[in-house]
Structure 1
Amino acid sequence: MHFKKEFNFVKMSKAAFIFSIVITIAGIIALAAFGLNYSVDFRAGSNVDVKLSHNVTKAEVQPLLDEIGIGKDATVSPGDNRVNIRFTKVLSPEQDDQLKTSIQKLDKTASFEINTVDTEMAKELGRNAIYSVLISCIGIIIYVSIRFEWRFALAAIIALLHDAFMVVAIFSIFRLEVSLTFIVAVLTIIGYSINDTIVIFDRIRENLRFGKQKTREDLANLLNHSVNQMLMRSLYTAFTVFIAAFFLFLFGGESIKMFSLAMVIGLIFGAYSSIFIASPLWLFLKYKQKPKGKAVKPSKA
């Protein structure tokens, strides 16, 4: 089977595998040593969101918290006409009242939204987050196995888990905060990643149906040709969504910043894995179907 000269993604995938393995090892070490920097959503504590008529600084708020004895457990994050205060412990009703009285010294019109998470609720949220990712992966395996074949399904799920773990690893390495919106971002990334991978796999399957693959080299050429055919589509899709997520990160509110950042990271790895991880993994599995030099039958539709 003859193809014109194109990008050799099979050859480039070796460097991609090394890069992914390095990030994976670094992520595992970071997770083992430090874990994730969970927000109050996943640990017991109180989250206080205060709306103000003017901007305030951390230097103005922190002394007020220290004065009533809750400053050491607080993380103060000022914003535009607002301030977010997160506590590692659940505030008592008396402390809630003291906090409101103290903040109103800065602004008498301040309004408060106080959310608390107890230990059992935090554990349940953590479990549900893991279950949601696992159920998504199982559903994808079933769909791809029926729609394509088990080699495509295995390659797709490995690439999908790779993307999700890359985001988790980077958040762990750089101690970025993990909240409920982070879980939403990971699930969104999984959906985007599998969509991009399926598009490439569909083209590979079509080329398998109409081509004659007699050797491993023919399979490698077919994969390179298929990915080159879909390359610009994948890049254009990834770029347009990336731009939206990036500007949402730059100009969005504090509450969605980590969601936007996770999306930016995940979109990059999603496009990367569809080309350099999922497709070469399928090729590796297909290589095992027949010994070297023997004809390789096309996949069933």
Structure 2
Amino acid sequence: MRFKKELDFVHLSRFFYIFSIAITVAGLIFLATMGLNYSVDFKAGSNVDVALSKNITLEQLKPALKDLGISHEPDITLGENRVNIRYDEVLDSNQDEALKAAVTKLDDKASFEINTVDTEMAKELARNAIYSVLISCLGIIIYVSIRFEWRFALAAIVALVHDAFIVVAIFSIFRLEVDLTFIVAVLTIIGYSINDTIVIFDRIRENLRFGKQKTYEDLKVLVNKSVAQTLMRSLYTAFTVFIAAFFLLVMGGESIKMFSLAMVIGLLFGAYSSIFIASPLWLLLKKRQKQPVKSNPAKA
């Protein structure tokens, strides 16, 4: 399905560039001053997830946790028949038992899941998370460079980093918790982002084979035409995954809420980055060629 009247996506891209730059700058400021709100997965501490048979209030829970001999105040998150208690220090076995006893007095059918991460493990998890993102980006750069050309590769990686960083920036700005599922979401977003970008780039390359582009305006028309030809396919794909992620966010458990939220944010921004970031950037790089623009035959 295509629009009968093709839009000037290249012209519209300037507004999306301004929007993305504004969020990026805000994200950099928040990251530099406040950092990320790491969960217990990335810093030492204990995370207690309690399944309840009835709802309890903070007014009931806080006094019950005061007499445990723990110096730091816990971070408590209440949900429907569930409560999450996070300490920034590692609880020993006696403190674990005391906490269970305190909560059991409020709900004798409560069940507990306690996860503890020490300092070294937290550092290792953080390193592995960074390595996983960097390695995936490197692999994509190599693939796109071989499959297409360096301008396509550069434009694709800029769009990819844009999508991943926007999610990180929003989590930093709104102090949303970053856990291991967040890293999974970022890697998933990278995959979806590059998939949409490759589809558009493949159509651009195909149109280059059969066209005679001699000027920048010719290339601009070609990019707009290529985006229009693949637009509905990209929107359908993004919308389908967005619906699934949205319902996971609304109806899913507490343990996957950050994953679902990161996916929703990433899909929204990824939906326009391939169209309004990657493709116009390739056009800009192509414009800077010193030699006349020629059609590039596809590599076998």
TM bracket (short chain): over 0.9
Q: Give the SS at the match of 1:131.
A: helix
1:290: how far off?
A: 3.3
Q: Give the SS at the match of 1:41.
A: coil
Q: Give the SS at the match of 1:108.
A: coil
Q: Give the SS at the match of 1:56.
A: coil
Partner residue, 1:7: 7
Would you say the 8 A contact 1:65–1:71 is kept in 2? Answer: no
Would you say the 8 A contact 1:13–1:277 is kept in 2? Answer: yes
Partner residue, 1:270: 270
Q: Give the SS at the match of 2:289.
A: coil
Partner residue, 1:110: 110
Question: Which segments of 5 or more consecutive residues in structure 2 lack a partner in the other structure?
Answer: none
TM-score, structure 1 as length reference: 0.95
For the aligned residue pairs, the C-alpha RMSD in angstroms reads 1.4
Partner residue, 1:162: 162
1:110 and 1:168 map into 2 onto residues whose CA distance is 35
Partner residue, 1:296: 293
Residue deviations 1:166-202 (CA, integer Å, cap 9, x gap): 0000000111110000000000000000000000001
Number of residue pairs the alignment of both structures matches = 295
What amino acid maps onto 2:124 in structure 1?
E
1:53: how far off?
A: 2.3
1:5: how far off?
A: 5.1
Q: Give the SS at the match of 2:109.
A: coil
What amino acid maps onto 1:216 in structure 2?
Y
Partner residue, 2:219: 219
Partner residue, 1:257: 257
Of stretches 280-289 and 183-192 in structure 1, the one that deviates more from structure 2 is 280-289
1:223: how far off?
A: 0.2
2:127 and 2:195 map into 1 onto residues whose CA distance is 26
Partner residue, 1:33: 33
Q: Give the SS at the match of 2:106.
A: coil
Q: Give the SS at the match of 1:48.
A: strand
2:241 and 2:109 map into 1 onto residues whose CA distance is 40
1:58: how far off?
A: 2.1
1:33 and 1:185 map into 2 onto residues whose CA distance is 24
TM-score, structure 2 as length reference: 0.95
2:175 and 2:283 map into 1 onto residues whose CA distance is 36
Partner residue, 1:179: 179
Question: Which segments of 5 or more consecutive residues in structure 1 lack a partner in the other structure?
Answer: none
1:50: how far off?
A: 1.7
Partner residue, 2:17: 17
Q: Give the SS at the match of 1:90.
A: coil
Would you say the 8 A contact 2:46–2:117 is kept in 1? Answer: yes
1:236: how far off?
A: 1.4
Would you say the 8 A contact 1:148–1:300 is kept in 2? Answer: no
Residue deviations 1:107-137 (CA, integer Å, cap 9, x gap): 2232222110001111111111110000000
1:91 and 1:28 map into 2 onto residues whose CA distance is 34
What amino acid maps onto 1:129 in structure 2?
A
2:168 and 2:296 map into 1 onto residues whose CA distance is 34
Would you say the 8 A contact 1:61–1:76 is kept in 2? Answer: no
Of stretches 55-64 and 246-255 in structure 1, the one that deviates more from structure 2 is 55-64
1:91 and 1:7 map into 2 onto residues whose CA distance is 59
Would you say the 8 A contact 1:181–1:256 is kept in 2? Answer: yes
Of stretches 56-65 and 112-121 in structure 1, the one that deviates more from structure 2 is 56-65
What amino acid maps onto 1:153 in structure 2?
A
Partner residue, 1:205: 205
Partner residue, 2:60: 60
Would you say the 8 A contact 1:63–1:71 is kept in 2? Answer: no
Partner residue, 1:287: 287
Q: Give the SS at the match of 2:50.
A: strand
Q: Give the SS at the match of 2:257.
A: helix
Partner residue, 1:45: 45
Residue deviations 1:142-181 (CA, integer Å, cap 9, x gap): 1111111111011000100000000000000111110000
